[in-house]
Amino acid sequence: AFALDPSADDAEAHPLGGGQISKYLDAESAFSSQQGIAAMPKAREVYLRSLPPQYPQSVHETRVAAAESMLRAVVTGPALDSTLVQLRAECMKVWKGGRQLCGAFSLTGRLCAYRVHMLPKDVAHEGLAAASGQL
């Protein structure tokens, strides 16, 4: 009944013809979006659970991966990618909002234990305190 070049009548006769498929896709998108909205608070909690006041990039990346894993287990469908992008942005905002460690290595080879700050070799950027602590 259905050839490679179906006529308009055949398309209307098909259960997913005549605009029916768009209804199903819209419902799937709406369901996927609702899953993402419902799962975001729990994913944020996974990221924030027992975090120290400041932490290095490695901890940030590990926590983002754990939160993403949780989202992938709960959210399906077309909204998954946009939900992951939103989660990454929120986690980055938390980390860069005063919780990011410097990340530079000291003369002893250890990571700096202070929040992000200017290094002697850096040029002053607006918004960062000078090495002396004065603006």
Q: Where are the domains of the chain?
A: 19-99, 102-135
Whole-number pLDDT of residue 130: 46
Task: Specify the pTM.
Answer: 0.68
Predicted confidence (pLDDT) at residue 128 exceeds the cutoff of 80: no
Token code pair at residue 7: 């006529």
- In contact, 67 and 87? CB cutoff 8 Å: yes
C-alpha–C-alpha distance, residues 69 and 42, integer Å: 12
Residue entry with tokens 């983002």: 64
In the prediction, which pLDDT does 46 show?
98
Give the model confidence (pLDDT) of 7-49 as tens digits. Answer: 545 555 555 555 666 666 688 889 999 999 999 999 999 999 9
What average pLDDT does range 88-108 have in this prediction?
Answer: 92
φ, ψ of residue 53 in degrees (nearest 5)? -60, -40
Give me the pLDDT at residue 26, please: 84
Q: Are residues 117 and 102 in contact, defined by beta-carbon separation less than 8 angstroms? A: yes
The yes-or-no verdict on residue 5 having pLDDT over 90 is no
